[in-house]
């Protein structure tokens, strides 16, 4: 028993030191985009290997150290990263499936997101969504002023009324785009929070599983991507959300419109991923180079027509079980 306590204390000290190093690298170097997915991993590992009392003590220690080394911002980042890491680590210890671990991680990230938004709004009177919208407005104003400066700097022979009108049309198009982006951002904010929470949990699982493998610890992995299967009810809810958005005056019913928009967005992403899974299966059956396929998919995701094709393939898969049809040939 004493040996277990000593091991937990030593591991906790190592975990805290490792976490703080990663935290400082994430906040002070350009590696932040990558390290944000690594930050929960030390506590995922620790929570998998130790009891709840040791986990709580180690977490409180890292919160105090984060505040002392940095400031309130360091502490807030640590809370955001450590708590979901602990939840995922405990889930690993219970031996649940990989999808259950990711789901619990997603839910915990989402709860922390909501907690932060509530604290910022009610305690510090900071409306973070409005701050982001104001940043969009400021960026738009900067673009507009730069365009005016460029127009004034042009030679008089080029600064014709027709040319000025073209610039005004461009400025109007930019304004319209910014207004549309702001409207979509407000509506889809719940979906964006869920999506980012899922991505954090998903990538943290991928990294953690590799670390566990190096440590000689076995945890359940995800099924192969090409064998991804989804329940058909996803398609039914997607169609319901899609048809609700077709009603002419649906924007007058704000709550229903927001629910339909977020449902359509989230379920559309799920169907898109399923479509890519189907194509992956077909590509593997044909024996083609997987590296080329990965590059092609990443490129095509930046073009709307291809993302729509992936989504339609996902719909066809749920309707007609497409993979079984071509895998039997």
Tens digits of per-residue pLDDT, 43-65?
999 999 888 888 889 899 989 98
Domain of residue 41 covers 2-122
Does a structural domain hold residue 108? yes
- What gap in Å lies between CA 47 and CA 212, rounded to an integer? 12
Measured in residues, the chain has a length of 329
Q: Counting beta carbons within 10 angstroms of the beta carbon of residue 91, is it exposed (0 to 12), middle (13 to 18) or buried (19 or more)?
A: buried
pLDDT at 159: 62
pLDDT at 292: 81
pLDDT at 124: 67
pLDDT at 240: 92
Does a structural domain hold residue 145? no
Q: How far does Cα 288 stand from its chain's mean position? A: 30
Higher confidence at residue 4 or residue 183? 183
Q: If pLDDT is split at 50, 70 and 90, which confidence band does 173 have? A: confident
From residue 86, how far is each of 51, 59, 197 by CA, in Å?
11, 9, 15
Longest dimension (CA), the chain: 88
* Mean pLDDT estimate for the chain: 84
Last-in-domain residue among 105, 122, 139: 122
CB atoms within 10 A of CB 194: 20
Sequence-distant (≥ 6) Cβ neighbours of residue 202 within 8 angstroms: 102, 106
Does a structural domain hold residue 113? yes
Q: If pLDDT is split at 50, 70 and 90, which confidence band does 126 have? A: confident
Based on the structure, what is the number of domains in the chain?
2
- What gap in Å lies between CA 195 and CA 199, rounded to an integer? 6
What pLDDT, in 10s, does the model give residues 179-232? Answer: 888 888 888 888 989 999 999 999 999 999 998 888 888 888 888 888 888 888
Does a structural domain hold residue 80? yes
Does a structural domain hold residue 288? yes
**Contact call for residues 278 and 313 (beta carbons, < 8 A):** yes
Residue range 16-43: average pLDDT?
Answer: 86
Indicate if 229 and 117 belong to the same structural domain. Answer: no
Does a structural domain hold residue 133? no
- Is the confidence at residue 327, as pLDDT, over 60? no
pLDDT at 90: 92
pTM: 0.85
Last-in-domain residue among 67, 98, 122: 122
- Is the confidence at residue 87, as pLDDT, over 90? yes
- What gap in Å lies between CA 240 and CA 96, rounded to an integer? 32
Does a structural domain hold residue 269? yes
Q: If pLDDT is split at 50, 70 and 90, which confidence band does 237 have? A: very high
Does a structural domain hold residue 178? no
Nearest to 23 by CA among 60, 57, 71, 58: 71
- The residue behind tokens 């995701």 is 301
Residue range 261-288: average pLDDT?
Answer: 88
In terms of DSSP H, where are the helices of the chain?
A: 2-28, 32-35, 41-49, 52-69, 72-93, 98-122, 128-153, 161-214, 233-244, 254-286, 290-300, 304-320, 322-327
Last-in-domain residue among 122, 146, 167: 122
């Amino acid at each position: 028993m004493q040996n277990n306590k000593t091991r937990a204390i030593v591991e906790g000290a190592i975990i805290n030191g490792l976490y703080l190093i990663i935290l400082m690298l994430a906040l002070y170097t350009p590696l932040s985009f990558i390290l944000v997915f690594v930050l929960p991993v030390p506590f995922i590992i620790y929570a998998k290997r130790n009891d709840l009392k040791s986990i709580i003590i180690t977490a409180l220690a890292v919160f105090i150290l984060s505040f002392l080394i940095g400031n309130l911002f360091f502490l807030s980042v640590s809370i955001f990263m450590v708590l979901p890491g602990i939840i995922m680590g405990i889930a690993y210890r219970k031996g649940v499936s990989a999808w259950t671990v990711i789901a619990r991680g997603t839910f915990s990230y989402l709860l922390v997101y909501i907690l932060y938004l509530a604290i910022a709004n009610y305690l510090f009177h900071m409306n973070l969504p409005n701050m982001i919208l104001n940043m969009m407005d400021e960026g738009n104003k900067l673009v507009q002023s730069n365009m005016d400066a460029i127009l004034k700097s042009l030679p008089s022979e080029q600064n014709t009324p027709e040319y000025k009108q073209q610039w005004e049309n461009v400025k109007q198009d930019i304004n319209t785009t910014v207004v549309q982006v702001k409207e979509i951002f407000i509506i889809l904010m719940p979906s964006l929070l869920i999506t980012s929470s899922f991505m954090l949990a998903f990538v943290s699982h991928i990294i953690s599983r590799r670390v566990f493998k190096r440590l000689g610890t076995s945890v359940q992995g995800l099924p192969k991507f090409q064998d991804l299967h989804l329940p058909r009810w996803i398609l039914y809810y997607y169609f319901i959300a899609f048809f609700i958005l077709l009603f002419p005056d649906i924007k007058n019913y704000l709550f229903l419109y927001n629910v339909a928009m977020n449902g359509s967005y989230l379920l559309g992403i799920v169907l898109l991923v399923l479509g890519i899974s189907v194509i992956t299966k077909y590509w593997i059956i044909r024996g083609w180079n997987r590296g080329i396929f990965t590059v092609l998919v990443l490129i095509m995701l930046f073009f709307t027509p291809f993302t729509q094709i992936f989504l339609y393939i996902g719909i066809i898969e749920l309707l007609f079980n497409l993979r079984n049809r071509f895998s039997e040939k």
